[in-house]
């Protein structure tokens, strides 16, 4: 009997623990481009033969990263107005310079998280951040310098990083106080998990097309779907 009672107690504790961790949900969805996609010209990588040599096909600007059915990549999607303290992950957020492009083109990093810039190209790049709130960095990375590390100590939504050697190179970074963000791939999909239950605005951001916002109620351990359509704003 005693054993049975202990088992019952254990089951009750487990259930309590489970419910404590389950008060969070997932927000997922797809971003699509609506309208006629503008025709873009390939990047002029010939300006640096070292860059041109790294590709056998024309490289298109990352500003328009469309997949089948006009699904849209490089969209930063995040939950607005999350309160609470969220520790920065111990692993670094990594921005690579590869094929004379920034990979990824759009990314998030948390306040205090290590932001690691790699140079996989074996070429000279100059990584130059253009924040308005955080401290800027501007650093030549010759072929021999393969890594540089920074941290951002303030929240800042989307600033540009550029390369002073290659004018077509650009990346966009959001410095966040919480981990509830994602960037779409060309399949347009995002998934943000572990969102504390509550009512939120979800915002989708594109470097040229601006933002789209939607509201969502996240319940206990459920998944909410929020889709976005991006279009060229009418003049
Ligand atoms: Cu460069």
**In a domain? residue 15:** no
Q: How far is the CA of 105 from the centre of ligand 1 (A)?
A: 13
pLDDT tens digit sequence for 182-192: 999 999 999 99
Give the CA-trace dihedral at 72, 73, 79, 84, to 10 degrees.
Answer: 170
Q: How far is the CA of 218 from the centre of ligand 1 (A)?
A: 42
CATH of the domain at 143: 2.60.40.420
Return the structure tokens found at 107. 């990314």
**In a domain? residue 16:** no
Return the structure tokens found at 205. 């951001």
Task: Flag whether pLDDT at 5 surpasses 70.
Answer: no
Q: How far is the CA of 47 from the centre of ligand 1 (A)?
A: 11
- Give the residue numbers spanning the domain of 76: 24-230
pLDDT of residue 116: 98
**In a domain? residue 6:** no
Task: Flag whether pLDDT at 37 surpasses 70.
Answer: yes
**In a domain? residue 18:** no
**In a domain? residue 105:** yes
Q: How many CB atoms lie under 10 A from the CB of residue 162?
A: 18
Q: How far is the CA of 100 from the centre of ligand 1 (A)?
A: 6
Q: How far is the CA of 59 from the centre of ligand 1 (A)?
A: 15
Looking at the 3D structure of the chain, how many domains does it have? 1
Q: How confident is the model at residue 15 (pLDDT cuts 50, 70, 90)?
A: very low
Q: How far is the CA of 125 from the centre of ligand 1 (A)?
A: 4
pLDDT of residue 9: 54
Q: How far is the CA of 208 from the centre of ligand 1 (A)?
A: 22
- Mean of the per-residue pLDDT values for the chain? 92
pLDDT of residue 18: 47
Tokens 């070429």 map to which residue? 123
**In a domain? residue 2:** no
Tell me what the mean pLDDT of segment 101-124 comes to.
98
Q: How far is the CA of 67 from the centre of ligand 1 (A)?
A: 26
Task: Flag whether pLDDT at 142 surpasses 90.
Answer: yes
CB 218 within 8 A of CB 81: no
Instruction: Locate all alpha helices (DSSP H) within 55-198, ordered by sequence.
Output: none
pLDDT tens digit sequence for 197-229: 999 999 999 999 999 999 999 988 889 999 999
Q: How far is the CA of 140 from the centre of ligand 1 (A)?
A: 9
| Closest of 106, 107, 79 to residue 93, by C-alpha | 107
* Listed range (45-49, 80-84, 117-121) with the worst mean pLDDT: 80-84
Tell me what the mean pLDDT of segment 70-91 comes to.
96
Q: How far is the CA of 1 from the centre of ligand 1 (A)?
A: 72
CB 221 within 8 A of CB 25: yes
> How far apart, in whole angstroms, are the C-alpha atoms of residue 147 and residue 144?
9
Q: Quick one: what percent of the chain has pLDDT higher than 70?
A: 91
pLDDT of residue 4: 53
CB 52 within 8 A of CB 166: no
pTM of the model: 0.89
pLDDT of residue 20: 46
Tell me what the mean pLDDT of segment 15-30 comes to.
70
pLDDT of residue 209: 96
Q: 113: Cβ–Cβ under 8 A, 6 or more apart, which residues?
A: 88, 89, 92, 93, 151, 152
Strands (E), 153-218: 156-163, 170-176, 181-183, 189-196, 198-206, 210-218
Q: How far is the CA of 77 from the centre of ligand 1 (A)?
A: 27
Instruction: Locate all alpha helices (DSSP H) within the chain, ordered by sequence.
Output: 2-21, 49-52
pLDDT of residue 6: 53
**In a domain? residue 137:** yes
Q: How far is the CA of 14 from the centre of ligand 1 (A)?
A: 53
Tell me what the mean pLDDT of segment 150-177 comes to.
98
Q: How far is the CA of 147 from the centre of ligand 1 (A)?
A: 14
Is 196 exposed, middle or buried (CB count within 10 Å of its CB: 0-12, 13-18, 19+)? middle
CA pseudo-torsion sign 64, 68, 74, 80: positive
**In a domain? residue 12:** no
Q: How far is the CA of 169 from the centre of ligand 1 (A)?
A: 6
């Amino acid at each position: 009997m005693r054993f049975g009672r202990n088992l019952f107690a254990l089951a009750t504790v487990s259930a309590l623990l489970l419910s404590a961790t389950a008060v969070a949900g997932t927000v997922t969805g797809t971003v699509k481009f609506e309208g006629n996609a503008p025709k873009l010209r390939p990047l002029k990588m010939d300006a640096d033969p070292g860059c041109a040599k790294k590709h056998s096909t024309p490289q298109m600007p990352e500003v328009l990263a469309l997949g089948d059915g006009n699904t849209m990549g490089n969209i930063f999607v995040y939950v607005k107005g999350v309160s609470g303290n969220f520790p920065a992950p111990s692993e670094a957020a990594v921005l690579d310079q590869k094929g004379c492009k920034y990979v990824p083109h759009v990314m998030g990093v948390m306040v205090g998280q290590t932001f690691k810039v790699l140079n996989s190209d074996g070429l000279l790049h100059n990584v130059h951040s253009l924040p308005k709130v955080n401290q800027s960095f501007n650093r030549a990375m010759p072929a021999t310098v393969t890594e540089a590390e920074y941290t951002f100590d303030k929240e800042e939504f989307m600033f540009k990083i550029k390369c002073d050697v290659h004018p077509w190179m650009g990346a966009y970074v959001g410095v966040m106080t919480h981990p509830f963000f994602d960037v779409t791939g060309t399949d347009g999909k995002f998934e943000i998990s572990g969102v504390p239950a509550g009512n939120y605005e979800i915002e989708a951001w594109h470097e040229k097309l601006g933002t789209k916002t939607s509201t969502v109620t996240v319940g206990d351990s459920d998944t909410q779907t929020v889709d976005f359509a991006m279009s060229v704003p009418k003049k």
